[in-house]
Amino acid sequence: MAFDLYQLDSAEYEEAEELLDEYIEQVIHLFAESPEGQPYGEEQPDLGGWIGSFLSYGYRYEGFTLPHMTRANVDLVMDEILPRKITVMAASEAEDAVPELMAFWSFLQREYALENAGDILTYLTSIKHKFPQWMVDPARAGMAKGFMMGGMQAGFDMTTQEGITEFQMAYNSRLLAEQADSSFMGQLGGALNQLLSGGTTGLPANRKSKAKKQPNTKGFGGGGDAETGSKKKKKKR
């Protein structure tokens, strides 16, 4: 039976969800056997991983299907969705992504004469050297990926459950410490320490009480405003 590239378009979403994994497997197989896929497969025996992620995330998050994908659709998947969802240990691990997708779209253009394939290939060519850096850009990462990247940058082995657990414990401990420092007791402790060292407390003064007259002596006391013991939080940009 011939492969139907349009089968997801003619199915209800729930039905398409059930068909999606098999659909992706079949189209990758066809690509691997094609004149475009065979040479690429000789260089990259593990071909198909990026194609699978591209199709799966594109459909499950945005409902994009191959026959109707536009350049703007592909840009959304490459520029936002994949960098937000997929974690790589280094930019070099994503260097084969765009070449694989370019070979795949060349196959689709020849085999199925997709209307937008040429425009999509032009776009993919333009991001070939940018995409690996997008994949390790913390600003593009989602919450889960940001956590993984934070652990890797802190030196934890985030490829194992033990490493993930260790980083989670360290991360939680740091959060608790930061919360304690910003609490009233933390501020009070800082004020007391400053008082014992001869500085001002940073606590609000009692405005109802009158100031005592100080003796006119030299060498004691200080003029000018003293710094408070508590720090202002930085405004989020």
Q: Are residues 24 and 115 in the same domain?
A: yes
Q: What is the pLDDT of residue 186?
A: 55
The reply to whether 8 falls in a domain is no
Read off the pTM: 0.65
188: pLDDT strictly greater than 70: no
131: pLDDT strictly greater than 80: yes
Dihedral angle, C-alpha 90, 92, 94, 99, nearest 10 °: 180
Q: Are residues 119 and 135 in the same domain?
A: yes
Render pLDDT for 133-179 as a digit per residue (tens, 0 to 9): 999 888 887 666 555 666 666 676 666 777 677 766 776 777 677 66
Cβ-contact 97, 113 below 8 angstroms: no
Share of the chain above pLDDT 90, in %: 50
In angstroms, what CA-CA distances link 112 with 3, 6, 39, 178, 235? 11, 11, 20, 57, 53
Q: How far apart are CA 167 and CA 149, in angstroms?
A: 11
Question: Is pLDDT larger for residue 2 or for residue 103?
Answer: 103
The reply to whether 231 falls in a domain is no
The reply to whether 211 falls in a domain is no
Which of the listed residues 150, 177, 204 is the one where a domain comes to its end? Answer: 177
Local confidence band at 69 (pLDDT 50, 70, 90 cut-offs)? very high
In the block, residue with structure tokens 């609000």:
204
User: Average model confidence (pLDDT) for the chain?
Assistant: 78
Least confident among 10-19, 36-45, 153-162: 153-162
**Number of domain units in the chain:** 2
Question: Is pLDDT larger for residue 230 or for residue 48?
Answer: 48
Q: Are residues 170 and 117 in the same domain?
A: no
Q: Are residues 97 and 164 in the same domain?
A: no
Q: Are residues 130 and 62 in the same domain?
A: yes
Q: Are residues 84 and 61 in the same domain?
A: yes
The reply to whether 2 falls in a domain is no
Q: What is the pLDDT of residue 2?
A: 85
The reply to whether 196 falls in a domain is no
The total number of residues shown for the chain amounts to 237
Q: How far apart are CA 10 and CA 25, in angstroms?
A: 19
Which of the listed residues 111, 140, 169 is the one where a domain comes to its end? Answer: 140
Q: Are residues 88 and 155 in the same domain?
A: no
Which of the listed residues 140, 167, 186 is the one where a domain comes to its end? Answer: 140
Q: What is the pLDDT of residue 236?
A: 40
- Looking at residues 51-58, what average pLDDT do you find? 97
- Crossing angle (nearest 10°) for helices 97-112 and 13-32: 100
Q: Are residues 39 and 127 in the same domain?
A: yes
Local confidence band at 132 (pLDDT 50, 70, 90 cut-offs)? very high
Q: Are residues 164 and 131 in the same domain?
A: no
The reply to whether 195 falls in a domain is no
Render pLDDT for 85-121 as a digit per residue (tens, 0 to 9): 998 888 999 999 999 999 999 999 999 999 999 999 9
Q: Are residues 32 and 146 in the same domain?
A: no
Q: Are residues 87 and 132 in the same domain?
A: yes
Exposed, middle or buried by CB within 10 Å (0-12, 13-18, 19+), for 166? middle
The reply to whether 170 falls in a domain is yes
Structure-token pair, residue 17:
């969800």
Domain containing 52 equals 13-140
Q: What is the pLDDT of residue 83?
A: 93
The reply to whether 153 falls in a domain is yes
Q: What is the pLDDT of residue 189?
A: 55
Q: What is the pLDDT of residue 153?
A: 64
235: pLDDT strictly greater than 80: no
Q: Are residues 42 and 150 in the same domain?
A: no
